[in-house]
Chain A
Amino acid sequence: MASPAPAEATAAAGPMVPRPFRVAARRREAADTWTLALEPADGGPPPAFRPGQFNMLYAFGVGEVPISISGDPAAGGPLEHTVRAVGPASAAICRAEPGEQLGVRGPFGSSWPLQAAAGRHVVVVAGGIGLAPLRPALLGALAARERLAGLVLLCGGRTPEQLLFRSQLERWGEDPRLELGVTVDSAEPGWLGQVGVVTTLIGDAPFDPASAVAFVVGPEVMMRFAIEALLARGMAASDVYISIERNMKCAVTHCGRCQFGPTFACREGPVMSFAAIERFFRTREV
């Protein structure tokens, strides 16, 4: 009897069993942030994913953390994750050199509703590392640009040095298919871009609020103000989507740690319509 293919074997093992992946490449994005390209160590194909989904990355012997996929879903190559070192597990993942192995479970969760954006303006608002989970959606939107009324990326960071994907941002800045606004919280005089919070870009951004759909990711405080600014432009809450972050352990609703009101961030999220969660988003302790 033939043995199952590696990917089939992993799928049969269930969603709680990590599949070994090898670090194929590693690129520094900022002082504490790295993008890792991961390929299956078992020789099988990497799993397909939708923009906005996440994987559980496991630094063996240290810990496991949920990390959004930052690569292009259409590219089909190694899985890309952009990771900021904020704790022992994420720091260990960032330290992983090419050739080292990490465990991967996933992909999990909901995705950005790119299909529903046909014929509409897509407004992407990213703060800090929030650009990473939005990158697959941006790449998908650019690939389908002729089906959209417009595409706007508003991107904020702490300083110019801490902006992610800087060379790609520069290319996007010259791409006529995309309206790009970049701003940082503070900068030295050599910086020729804007200085101020990302929400200040929303008021003058070139999109029609009546026909726009917005994707927002960043620290929760930033998202609150960004949503307020989008609603002030006249957008409907049901057209604003955010990616929420909660403490996750199992990623398959068993542990309950990521419960968000009546939903689970790992199952109904991480991408959710603001209209669906507005009540809980403004509630403390949820």
Chain B
Amino acid sequence: MATMRTIDEVLAELPTFAGLDPGYLEFIAGCGANRVFEAGEHLAHEGDPADSFFAIRHGRVALEVEAPGKGTLMIATLGPGTVVGWSWLFPPYRWSFDARALETTRTVSFDGACLRDKCEQDTSLGYQLMQRFASIMLERLQATRLQLLDVYGEPGAG
């Protein structure tokens, strides 16, 4: 029989939240809810209000952008343990890309406004969360730079 786990227990296993004080995890879990997306279903649409973000528990999500004349382009895929979305952190709080489930995807969805309020109330929590999101952003920025270099477009090995 499957064991029902609370959201704070689930959060503790996600790399983004691992190591946070249990009190903080409980605090953050108060802003979260389990959500399941079927294959093809969108988690977010470009330009829509970014009032939430998602931590992927199982499944995969594609970040996509519509390019005039080129149709929809997939620019990244994200898997279990990763976070989708940081537009909720910064004005104007709007999604920059489409996010679409590539398969049945189980997530914890967080209310961004709720979490921002909690971070304002407790700046220590806010600092810790900001450090963790900055680390994700750095990782994605470096990966994006490597993608922009188009290294396979140049003569390679062999």
A→B interface (CB under 8 Å): 67-68, 70, 82-84, 86-87, 127-130, 132-133, 156-158, 162, 183, 185-189, 191-197, 199-200, 204, 217-219, 221-222, 225, 243, 245
Contact = CB atoms under 8 A, between A and B. Distances in A.
B147 A204 contact: no
Interface in B34-59: none
Contacts of A197: 143, 146-147
A196 B147 contact: yes
A70 B158 CA distance: 9
Contacts of B147: 185-186, 196-197
What is the size category of the interface that chain B forms with chain A? 20 to 34
A84 B157 CA distance: 9
Contacts of B157: 68, 128-130, 132-133, 217-219, 243, 245
A158 B152 contact: yes
Contacts of A68: 157-158
B149 interface: yes
A87 to B, nearest CB: 8
A29 B36 CA distance: 39
Contacts of B124: none
Nearest to A245: B157
Given A84-B158, A183-B77, A219-B151, 16 more contacts: A67-B158, A68-B157, A83-B158, A84-B156, A127-B152, A128-B156, A129-B152, A133-B158, A158-B150, A162-B152, A189-B71, A189-B72, A192-B102, A194-B60, A197-B143, A245-B156
Given A127-B151, A189-B64, A82 B158 contact: yes
A136 to B, nearest CB: 12
A68 B155 CA distance: 14
A193 B79 CA distance: 11
28 contacts: A68-B157, A84-B158, A87-B155, A128-B152, A129-B156, A130-B158, A133-B157, A133-B158, A158-B150, A162-B152, A185-B150, A186-B147, A187-B74, A188-B74, A194-B77, A196-B76, A196-B147, A197-B147, A199-B143, A204-B79, A204-B81, A217-B157, A218-B151, A218-B157, A219-B151, A219-B154, A221-B149, A222-B152
Interface string B97-114: 000001000000000000
Contacts of B151: 127-128, 218-219, 221-222
Given A185-B147, A197-B146, A199-B143, A127 B75 contact: no
Contacts of A127: 151-152, 156
A78 B4 CA distance: 59
B138 interface: no
A18 to B, nearest CB: 19
B18 interface: no
A129 B143 CA distance: 20
